[in-house]
Amino acid sequence: MLRLITGIPGPSGFGSASTAEQVTEGIDATNLTAIITGGASGIGLETARVLALRRAHVIIAARNMVAANEAKQLILKDNQTARVDVMKLDLCSMKSIKDFADNFIALNIHLNILINNAGVMFCPFQLSEDGIEMQFATNHLGHFYLTNLLLDKMKDTARVTGIEGRIVNLTSVAHLHTYEEGIRFDKINDQNCYSDKKAYGQSKLANLLHANELSRRLQEEGENITVNSVHPGLITTNLMRHSARFVSMF
Of all residues in this chain, which one has the CB nearest to ligand NAP in the complex? 42
Binding residue for ligand NAP, selected from 53, 214, 225, 239, defined by CB under 6 A: 239
Nearer to ligand NAP, 75 or 89 (CB): 89
The mark string for 165-204 relative to ligand NAP (x by CB under 6 A, - otherwise) is -----x-x--------------------------------
- 237 is a site residue for ligand NAP (CB under 6 A): yes
Told to check if 232 binds ligand NAP by CB under 6 A, we report yes
Q: List the strands of the sheet with 57-62, edge to edge.
A: 83-88, 57-62, 33-37, 113-116, 165-170, 225-230
CB of 239 to ligand NAP, least distance (A): 3
Q: Any idea of the CA torsion for 96, 101, 103, 107, to the nearest 10 degrees?
A: 160
Candidate segments 90-98, 101-109, 186-194, 212-220, binder of ligand NAP by CB under 6 A: 90-98
Nearest to 40 by CA among 147, 117, 97: 117
Question: 113 or 158, CB closer to ligand NAP?
Answer: 113
Can residue 86 be called a binding residue for ligand NAP (CB under 6 A)? no
Residue partners of 244: CB distance under 8 A and separation at least 6 = none
Number of residues in contact with ligand NAP, rule: CB under 6 A?
30
Annotation marks residue 194 as catalytic: yes
Closest to ligand NAP by CB, 6 vs 219, is 6
Determine the interface stretch with ligand NAP among 76-84, 100-108, 115-123, 186-194 (rule: CB under 6 A). Answer: 115-123
Of the residues 145, 179, 194, 200, only one is catalytic, namely 194
Which among 32-40, 74-82, 182-190, 214-222 is the span making contact with ligand NAP, rule CB under 6 A?
A: 32-40
Convert residues 40-59 into a mask of x (bound to ligand NAP by CB under 6 A) and - (unbound).
xxxxx---------------
C-alpha to C-alpha distance for 187 and 101, rounded to whole angstroms: 29
Residues marked active site are found at 194
Footprint of ligand NAP on this chain (CB under 6 A)? Answer: 37-38, 40-44, 62-64, 67, 89-92, 117-121, 138, 170, 172, 231-232, 234-235, 237-239
